[in-house]
Amino acid sequence: MIEFKNVSFAYEKGRSVLSGVSFKIEKGEAVGLIGANGAGKSTVMKLLLGLIRGEGEIYVDGLEVKKDNLPEIRRKLGFVLQNSDNQMFMPTVCEDMMFAPLNYGLTRPEAEKRVDAVLERLGMTELKYRHNHRISGGEKRMAAIATVLAMEPEAVLMDEPTSALDPCNRRAVINTVKELGQTKLITSHDLDMIMDTCGRVILLSGGRIAADGPSDQILTDRELLEANRMELPLSLTPRP
Amino acid sequence: MNKMETALHELSEMDELASRSSPVHKLGPTAKLISTIIYIAAVMSFGKYRLSALIPMLLWPVLLFQLSGIPVRTCFYKLRIVLPLVLAMGLFNPFFDREPMLYLGSAAVSGGVISMLTLMLKGVLCLMASFLLMATTPIDCLCASLRRLHIPKMLVTLLLLTYRYVGVMTEELAVMTEAYSLRAPGQKGIHISAWGSFLGQLLLRSMDRAQELYSSMLLRGYHEHFHYAPMKPFSAADGIYLFGSTALFLFIRFVDITRILGSRFVR
């Protein structure tokens, strides 16, 4: 579904953010992308979505990420931004959710039907006509996920989906993410969430892949994590 | 809430006002837009000394405020920053035009005073009409009507995005002013020495956020074409409203009601 072949990127000459990154994500796989600040996680996302161009080759469902293919690639990928305020720019949740389906040629009744189905599935039908600035942070995060699901993407990319959420809302987001059947690529510092939702983890460090393997192997390897400025998930940290 | 947060709250309140339900809200946006434009044109076309003839033009906004259930004070409260500017129009007229035009008892009222009051009233009436349009019509519907009237796509998109981005910029300003005031206790406002860096930072932060918003739009299939709210067909009610309001404006514009009424009671 997603393939990076020897991808490198530098915002400035000589200051490389990613160097020679290669990995492959199969359809239906849930992958956590972890790493310390500045490790290159967001850059991976931006490259994948074609928001920036680097060296090397990136493929989404067999299509190379390049200008001509961007509309088709972006239709396959749903991206949930870290800051939901930046994702929700229409007045109401419903209008925000209809934004993508309408852009992809659905009629208004078809788009609304899709909105209803997604809201029903996420158990948040009461939010449909609520104003975006009148909903809480947790509701906004769920609504941001809903806007992406209304696109019916083949893969869902998420940037820190549980940041700044209270435990209850965090749990709601985790349960929703777990139930998604699509291919998932999630960047987060919330390693417990990654352990809960992803079967595989890619650990980035200094723009390179430091480890790639099953979550229960990587996330329990204290030495590996600490060598890459990370810590064991809180749930695995021994209490004094 | 600091001042910026209040401003942000007020901005969002406009969306809520527009989504209410009332006979005025239910009218088609195109009819409301056209009648507002005609109203403003009619108001502006009054001569500078025709203060008394202009007064009946107040009827229309007052009627709409009643029908829409929007309190007049909300309008004046929201327009409190612009109103002084409007009222400042023609402030110098009394100094340039000293010719007495009428006498109130023994006191002479100069043409300058009359023209100043006329200008002020014109400004207030135009603002009220614009406010009523915004408060009874969601911005998407308004943009859809503008497109229906063949206003270029680029201009309409600019209007819509500006309306959205004003909120983004105000949010950034709210965060920055709060951060500033927390580290400058007892200081009123932003000190002049910090204005340069403050504005620079505000611009950079707003640009970052605007860029992220735009990316979010692109990633959801945006390709320079907005799908505005569905347009209802021009209904009979719209037609009656448009015809009725235009007839009223023209009647008030060309028939000096106050003079006729006045001549009946005052000799």
Q: B69: exposed, middle or buried (C-beta count within 10 Å: 0-12, 13-18, 19+)?
A: middle
Q: How far apart are CA A196 and CA A178, in angstroms?
A: 8
| Residue contact A89–B230, C-beta within 8 A | no
Higher pLDDT, A49 or B154: A49
Instruction: Indicate whether B175 pLDDT > 90.
Output: no
Instruction: Indicate whether B4 pLDDT > 80.
Output: no
- Residue B102's DSSP bridge partners are B109
| Residue contact B209–A151, C-beta within 8 A | no
Mean pLDDT of A67-77: 92
Domain boundaries along the sequence of chain B: 1-138+231-267, 139-228
| Residue contact A151–B220, C-beta within 8 A | yes
Q: Which fold has domain A2-82+155-236?
A: Rossmann fold (3.40.50)
pLDDT band at B2 (very low <50, low <70, confident <90, very high): low
| Residue contact B12–A134, C-beta within 8 A | yes
Predicted local distance difference test score (pLDDT) of residue A235:
86
Q: How far apart are CA B140 and CA B143, in angstroms?
A: 5
The region of weakest confidence among A33-47, A177-191, B153-167 is: B153-167
A-chain residues within 8 Å CB-CB of B222?
99, 103
Q: How many CB atoms lie within 10 A of CB B41?
A: 12
The CA distances from residue B224 to A46, A205, B87, B218, B263, in Å, are 21, 38, 39, 9, 59
Residue of B nearest to A151 (CA): B220
Using the structure block, give the residue that is written with the tokens 């009507």: B145
Predicted local distance difference test score (pLDDT) of residue B257:
87
Closest CA to B177 of B205, B148, B207: B205
For chain A, say whether B260 makes contact (Cβ under 8 Å): no
Interface of B with A in 139-168 (CB under 8 A): 139-140, 164, 167
Predicted local distance difference test score (pLDDT) of residue B1:
58
| Residue contact A102–B217, C-beta within 8 A | no
Could you tell me if B229 and B141 are in contact, meaning their C-beta atoms sit under 8 angstroms apart?
yes
Mean pLDDT of all residues in chain B?
A: 87
Mean pLDDT of A118-138: 89
| Residue contact A86–B15, C-beta within 8 A | no
Instruction: Indicate whether B157 pLDDT > 70.
Output: yes
Residue of B nearest to A49 (CA): B219
| Residue contact A91–B230, C-beta within 8 A | no
Instruction: Indicate whether B192 pLDDT > 90.
Output: no
| Percent of chain B surpassing pLDDT 90 | 36
Angle between helices B139-148 and B111-136 (to 10 degrees): 100
Mean pLDDT of B245-265: 89
For chain A, say whether B16 makes contact (Cβ under 8 Å): yes
Domain boundaries along the sequence of chain A: 2-82+155-236
Could you tell me if A31 and A213 are in contact, meaning their C-beta atoms sit under 8 angstroms apart?
no
For chain A, say whether B219 makes contact (Cβ under 8 Å): yes
φ, ψ dihedrals at A90, nearest 5°: -95, 165
Instruction: Quote ipTM for the complex.
Output: 0.86
Residue of A nearest to B220 (CA): A100
Q: How many CB atoms lie within 10 A of CB A172?
A: 21
Predicted local distance difference test score (pLDDT) of residue A143:
93
Instruction: Indicate whether A78 pLDDT > 90.
Output: yes
B-chain residues within 8 Å CB-CB of A81?
212, 216
Mean pLDDT of all residues in chain A?
A: 92
Predicted local distance difference test score (pLDDT) of residue B85:
85
Distance from CA of B139 to the nearest CA of A (A): 9
Half-sphere exposure of residue B31: CA atoms within 13 angstroms, side-chain side: 22
Could you read off the pLDDT of B8-27 as tens digits, one per residue? Answer: 777 778 888 888 889 999 99
Of A86, A103, A133, the CB nearest to B220: A103
Residue B231: DSSP 8-state: P
Predicted local distance difference test score (pLDDT) of residue A200:
97
Residue among B211, B219, B231 with most chain A CBs within 10 A, to mutate: B219
Instruction: Indicate whether A144 pLDDT > 90.
Output: yes
Residues in chain A: 240
Closest CA to A49 of A185, A193, A224, A198: A185
Could you tell me if A204 and A41 are in contact, meaning their C-beta atoms sit under 8 angstroms apart?
yes
For chain A, say whether B214 makes contact (Cβ under 8 Å): no
| Residue contact B221–A85, C-beta within 8 A | no
φ, ψ dihedrals at B148, nearest 5°: -65, -30
Mean pLDDT of A14-31: 93
A-chain residues within 8 Å CB-CB of B215?
49, 51
Could you read off the pLDDT of B100-118 as tens digits, one per residue? Answer: 888 888 888 888 889 999 9
Q: What HEC string does B2-21 produce?
A: CHHHHHHHHHHHHHHHHCCC
Q: What is the Cα A105 distance to its own chain's centre? A: 25
B-chain residues within 8 Å CB-CB of A75?
221
Q: What is the DSSP string of A76-143?
A: HEEEE-SSHHHH--SSBHHHHHHHHHHHTT--HHHHHHHHHHHHHHHT-GGGTT-BGGGS-HHHHHHH
Mean pLDDT of B69-98: 84
φ, ψ dihedrals at A10, nearest 5°: -140, 130
Could you read off the pLDDT of B234-247 as tens digits, one per residue? Answer: 889 999 999 999 99
Mean pLDDT of B173-178: 85
| Percent of chain A surpassing pLDDT 90 | 75
